[in-house]
Amino acid sequence: MKFRNFPMVAKVVYGRGSFDQLDEILAPKRMDGRPFIFMVDDVFVDSDVAKRIPLHGQDKIIFISAKEEPKTIYVDQYRDEIVAEFNQLPSGIIGIGGGTAMDYAKAVAIMLNNPGSAADYQGWDLLQNPALYHVGIPTVSGTGAEVSRTTVLTGPTKKLGINSDYTPFDQVVLDPELTTGVPKNQWFYTGMDCYIHCVESLTGNYLNTFSKTYGEKSLELCRNVFLHKDVRDEESQDELMMASWHGGMSIAYSQVGIAHALSYGLSYVLGTHHGVGNCIVFDQLEEYYPDGVKEFKLMVKKHNIDIPKGLCKNLTDKQFKTMTDVALTLVPLWENALGKDWKKIMTREKIRKLYEQM
Ligand code: NAD
Ligand code: ZN
């Protein structure tokens, strides 16, 4: 048996208001005359958060739209624009936002030091060189992108992450205060990404004590936030931020499962966002995750959340086929959920049926 040797986030600061330490944190990493590039969710244009970003010299803010999930072509474009504007490598890239802004920051930091297109590196351990120094600052909790060794990208032929030892952030700033303005549905969808990570990890074949301990803690925190509380207060912001971290740590050493595999297919064909896509899929998976789905439905009801329906009503056979193809490429996810013989259990017809219900 060969055990996997994982890199982790090198440094992390946690606390309400810790965002204000960013200047001090970045100072030792600032290289002579080389700017920092801040990739910031455009929800923060003209906000107090944007005003608190510590800019010096040629430092630059690039506002990122989270309307679409990250694409390899945009990663390449951002990289090319930065190279063209500065003529030299920046000191580092800082992502401020949800999974979208954080994944852009990871991917651009990688592509500033690797030739070609981001699409060339979608897969596992394909990078030639380390990334530039990069920092992640989540402003909505759940994806675990702040701890993970992937940056999830949609490319010309697939939706697949750049999974590598160079992908994790060098520094993360966990400041729960930054999640204050997240709209309710989004809070729930991204929070459920974390809940689903835990259910898929804890019920999977790849489970081990490392993953289990993180997954159980994360699940307990998710329940505090979404089941045992009616309000979104400071405590629940703090808990959800740490649930996301622990959920990410849990899947680092195990794997996600059926909801993620099917959600990737939805996203590739319909552009459905990860959090809401996971909810749409998970809602239909009672046969595979009976306890998790039952609890999920309780949480949906408690918070009166709208889970979109009828997405696949008018899809063509070709679209169903593409969706299924994308889902089926994610072999480790199926193996984790259903075992080595997963292909006998999860046939193309079965997948189509599930999609038809969404
Ligand atoms: P997101 O980044 O797509 O943002 C969702 C919405 O929330 C956006 O409209 C954004 O503007 C808004 N928002 C964010 N912070 C806010 C705040 N403080 N106040 C008000 N609005 C705010 O959401 P997400 O669910 O965090 O990320 C989804 C993305 O993350 C997907 O692209 C998915 O593929 C990726 N992802 C990556 C990993 C990984 O390990 N790298 C894991 C899971 C998901
Ligand atoms: Zn996820």
Residues (pLDDT < 70) of the chain are none
Burial class (CB in 10 A: 0-12, 13-18, 19+), 37: buried
Same-domain status, 84 and 226: no
The pLDDT value given to residue 1: 79
Same-domain status, 214 and 111: no
- State which of 134, 154, 178 marks the end of a domain: 178
CB of 123 closer than 8 Å to CB of 160? yes
Substitution site in 186, 237, 279 for ligand 1 pocket (most atoms within 8 Å of beta carbon): 186
User: For the chain, how many structural domains are there in total?
Assistant: 2
- Closest C-alpha to ligand 1, atom 23: 98
- State which of 163, 178, 193 marks the end of a domain: 178
Interval between CA 70 and ligand 1 midpoint (Å): 10
Ligand closest to the CA atom of residue 191: 1
Same-domain status, 211 and 329: yes
Same-domain status, 61 and 85: yes
Residue type, 357: Q
The pLDDT value given to residue 159: 86
- Closest C-alpha to ligand 1, atom 20: 182
The domain spanning residue 69 has which CATH number?
A: 3.40.50.1970
Expressed as residue numbers, the domain containing 192 is 184-356
Which atom of ligand 1 approaches the CA of 148 most closely? 40
Is residue 5 one of the residues assigned to a domain? no
| Distances, alpha carbon 183 to alpha carbons 100, 102, 139, 186, 221, in Å | 16, 19, 12, 5, 20
- DSSP letter at 152 equals E
Same-domain status, 202 and 161: no
Q: Does the CA dihedral 181-184-186-192 come out positive or negative?
A: positive
Is residue 239 one of the residues assigned to a domain? yes
Distance CA 109, CA 107 (A): 5
Same-domain status, 19 and 153: yes
The pLDDT value given to residue 158: 85
Is residue 222 one of the residues assigned to a domain? yes
Same-domain status, 172 and 188: no
* C-alpha closest to that of 63 among 73, 74, 72: 74
Q: In this structure, are strands 60-64 and 36-41 parallel, antiparallel, or unpaired? A: parallel
- DSSP letter at 276 equals H
The pLDDT value given to residue 157: 87
The pLDDT value given to residue 33: 86
Same-domain status, 106 and 193: no
- State which of 141, 158, 178 marks the end of a domain: 178
Same-domain status, 191 and 172: no
Interval between CA 273 and ligand 1 midpoint (Å): 9
Is residue 259 one of the residues assigned to a domain? yes
List, edge to edge, every strand of the sheet that includes 159-163: 123-124, 159-163, 152-154
- DSSP letter at 71 equals B
Same-domain status, 194 and 293: yes
Is residue 1 one of the residues assigned to a domain? no
Which atom of ligand 1 approaches the CA of 161 most closely? 41
CB of 19 closer than 8 Å to CB of 177? yes
The domain spanning residue 212 has which CATH number?
A: 1.20.1090.10
CB of 185 closer than 8 Å to CB of 147? no
Which atom of ligand 1 approaches the CA of 65 most closely? 11
* pTM of the predicted model as reported, rounded to 2 decimal places: 0.97
Distance CA 5, CA 29 (A): 26
Which atom of ligand 1 approaches the CA of 100 most closely? 2
Distance of CA 338 to the CA centre of its chain: 23
Which residues line ligand 1 at a C-beta cut-off of 6 Å? 41, 43, 66, 69-70, 97-101, 103, 139-140, 143-145, 148, 150-152, 178-179, 181-182, 186, 190, 193, 273-275
Q: Is 271 left (phi over 0), alpha (psi -120 to 50) or beta?
A: left
Is residue 4 one of the residues assigned to a domain? no
- DSSP letter at 96 equals E
Which atom of ligand 1 approaches the CA of 181 most closely? 19
Instruction: List phi, psi (to 5°) of 12.
Output: -145, 135
Same-domain status, 156 and 228: no
- Closest C-alpha to ligand 1, atom 40: 145
Same-domain status, 134 and 261: no
| Distances, alpha carbon 344 to alpha carbons 238, 286, 312, 336, 339, in Å | 43, 19, 24, 14, 10
CB of 345 closer than 8 Å to CB of 336? no
